[in-house]
Amino acid sequence: MRIALLGGTGDIGEGLTLRWGRDADHELLVGSRDPERARDRADGYTATLADRGVDADIKGFGNAMAADRADVVVLAVPAYHLVDTVESVADRLDADTVLVTPAVGMTRDDDGFSYNRPGAGSVAALAAEAAPDDVPLVGAFHNLPAGGLADLDGEFDWDTLVFGDDADAKATVADLAAEIEGLRPLDAGGLGNAAGVEAVTPLLINVAAENEGLHDLGVRFE
């Protein structure tokens, strides 16, 4: 399977690329608005995995080219770039493409981080509105600490909540999540549940900041 990570040069993109590169066997396409930056980071990820004896298939492209070639497109960009990113690649997506968003809108004040719920109801809803009507959107990977995900020396036992209105697309993303060692996908229902999932992320960041030893705090439901 070809997985494009648009904004794959950022924190969550790095973590997912390295984990899939190590734990699965997919062609990984690192996307960026700057193709040269994408190629440089792809080469860096490849070298990191090669040092661990892993021969990963990772290439770098501009976002549109990466999306055009992919079966699954992960929008590994901040919430404030989400709509622009979707619109910039919309003509490269079709009904056979699964679009995935881990983006969360947050604000910060003296008390810490808070969920910034958009007027559309959720960040995922914004992505769905910007995408072509026939392209299924799935939410996943919201509540994962990017640093811990990218640290291949570390082990974890985390859950990721997966939501969406297309059952087949949701199953595809759940299967991809399950390939990452230590990550368990849980079905969180439809797109209407997106805000509840997204709102967990600022809570985790605040708890991690206030408690020693919880820097890479994830969630496990028991």
Which pLDDT value is given to residue 69?
86
Q: Could you list the residue range(s) of the whole structural domain that residue 147 is in? A: 2-210
- Write the pLDDT tens digit of every residue in 173-205: 999 999 999 999 999 999 999 999 999 999 999
Band of the pLDDT at 92, cuts 50, 70, 90?
A: very high
Phi, psi of 130 (to 5 degrees): -80, -25
* Residue 85 counted as domain residue: yes
* Residue 217 counted as domain residue: no
* Residue 164 counted as domain residue: yes
* Residue 222 counted as domain residue: no
Give the Å distances, CA to CA, from 127 to 30, 115, 199. 20, 17, 16
Q: At what angle do helices 79-89 and 123-130 cross, to 10 degrees?
A: 20
How confident is the model over 121-139, as a mean pLDDT? 97
Give the Å distances, CA to CA, from 195 to 124, 128, 129, 179, 200. 8, 13, 15, 26, 9
DSSP H or E segment with residue 105? none
- DSSP of 56-89: -EEEEEEHHHHHHH-SEEEE-S-HHHHHHHHHHH
Residues 141/168, Cβ–Cβ less than 8 Å: no
Which pLDDT value is given to residue 144?
95
Give the Å distances, CA to CA, from 218 to 36, 79, 145. 33, 20, 6
Using the structure block, give the residue that is written with the tokens 């600022």.
202
Which pLDDT value is given to residue 82?
97
Could you tell me how many helices (H) and strands (E) the chain has, helices first? 9, 10
- Write the pLDDT tens digit of every residue in 95-120: 999 999 999 999 999 999 999 999 99
Global pTM? Answer: 0.95
CA nearest to 82, candidates 61, 53, 106: 106
Token representation of residue 198: 């997204």
CATH code where residue 183 lies: 3.40.50.720
User: How many structural domains comprise the chain?
Assistant: 1
* Residue 221 counted as domain residue: no
